């Protein structure tokens, strides 16, 4: 058994590697949409309204973004969103899911970071679907043509 046969035979390592890369890219596209497009709405709205001090802070309801996914991202002290969006209540209230009094703002020193991390609204769920379809086609082309190229090289 030669090394080339690992990449040429049906059900080979090539197929497993190509499909693993495909799944990884689709998951990465979905996570980018979730982080920047869905969760990042909070940072974009606060930046759009120039909310940079605790006195100007807004609640999630006032922003029109009160949903469990955003609350969970704001509750987690290690989330990327919490590094740019600050809260006016103590962390214990957020842990208990007490978001009624919680108001959020982007401090002046985090304004640029929030802008560059969450700017634009180009990431849509449709883009994730397009990435999945295009990558599926590319994966199939790789599975078809790489063995043919390797077998040609083997004959040389």
In the DSSP assignment, the letter for residue 51 is -
Counted domains in the chain: 2
Run of H or E residues at 148: helix 125-155
Residue 132, domain extent: 1-39+124-156
Digit-by-digit pLDDT tens for the chain (156 residues) are 455 555 555 567 888 889 999 999 999 999 988 888 888 889 999 988 999 999 999 988 999 988 888 888 888 878 888 889 988 887 777 777 777 788 999 999 988 888 888 886 667 888 899 999 999 999 999 988 888 887 777 766
Per-residue pLDDT reduced to its tens digit, 85-95 = 988 887 777 77
Angle between helices 13-32 and 125-155 (to 10 degrees): 160
Helix-then-strand count for the chain, H and E: 8, 2
In this structure, the answer to whether residues 106 and 128 fall within a common structural domain is no
In this structure, the answer to whether residues 49 and 95 fall within a common structural domain is yes
In this structure, the answer to whether residues 35 and 50 fall within a common structural domain is no
In this structure, the answer to whether residues 22 and 45 fall within a common structural domain is no
In this structure, the answer to whether residues 51 and 94 fall within a common structural domain is yes
In this structure, the answer to whether residues 10 and 72 fall within a common structural domain is no
Q: How far is CA 37 from CA 27, 120, 125, in A?
A: 15, 8, 9
Sign of the Cα pseudo-torsion (85, 89, 92, 96, in order): negative
């Amino acid at each position: 058994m030669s090394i080339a046969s690992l990449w040429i035979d049906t059900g080979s390592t090539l197929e497993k590697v190509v499909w693993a890369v495909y799944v990884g890219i689709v998951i990465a596209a979905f996570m980018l949409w979730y982080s920047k497009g869905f969760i990042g709405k909070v940072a974009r709205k606060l930046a759009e309204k120039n909310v940079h001090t605790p006195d100007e802070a807004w609640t999630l309801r006032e922003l029109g973004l009160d949903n469990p996914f955003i609350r969970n991202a704001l509750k987690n002290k290690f989330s990327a969103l919490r590094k740019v969006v600050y809260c006016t209540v103590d962390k214990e209230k957020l842990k208990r899911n007490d978001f009624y009094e919680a108001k959020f703002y982007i401090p002046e020193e985090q304004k640029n970071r929030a802008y560059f991390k969450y700017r634009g609204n180009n990431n849509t769920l449709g883009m994730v679907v397009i990435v999945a379809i295009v990558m599926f086609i590319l994966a199939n082309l790789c599975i078809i043509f790489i063995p043919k190229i390797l077998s040609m090289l083997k004959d040389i």
